[in-house]
Amino acid sequence: MSFTLEQILKMYPDTRYYVRLSNGELLAGTHYLKEAKKYAERYKKKNAQDLLNKHLGVYVYNQKGKNVYVAKGEQNNIENEKIEEFE
């Protein structure tokens, strides 16, 4: 199930960072970027073992919907990734 940024902020108004799969699935929410990055890396490793999901990227968004971290393959530098804003 995919949620818009507005829906997530209504459900979890105090959460500052959201971890999502590139297919839109919400994985985690936290107050700290450091924790969000750990969740993203954990899900990236988990998906790498799953044949159906290994192609999916894991992204961290802030409350404003800006992508602040990418956990995809070997590349973690968002400057080199195609960034999509969270709806």
For position 76, what pLDDT does the model report? Answer: 42
Supply the pLDDT for residue 78.
Answer: 46
Read off the pLDDT of residues 29-81 as tens digits, 9 standing for 90 and up.
Answer: 889 999 999 999 998 988 888 777 778 889 999 988 899 999 875 444 444 44
Global pTM reads 0.70
Do residues 5 and 86 lie in contact, with contact meaning Cβ atoms separated by under 8 Å? Answer: yes
**Which pLDDT value is given to residue 79?**
45
CA atoms of 85 and 54, how far apart (whole Å): 22
pLDDT of residue 17: 93
Cα separation, 2 vs 74, in Å, equals 26
pLDDT of residue 86: 58
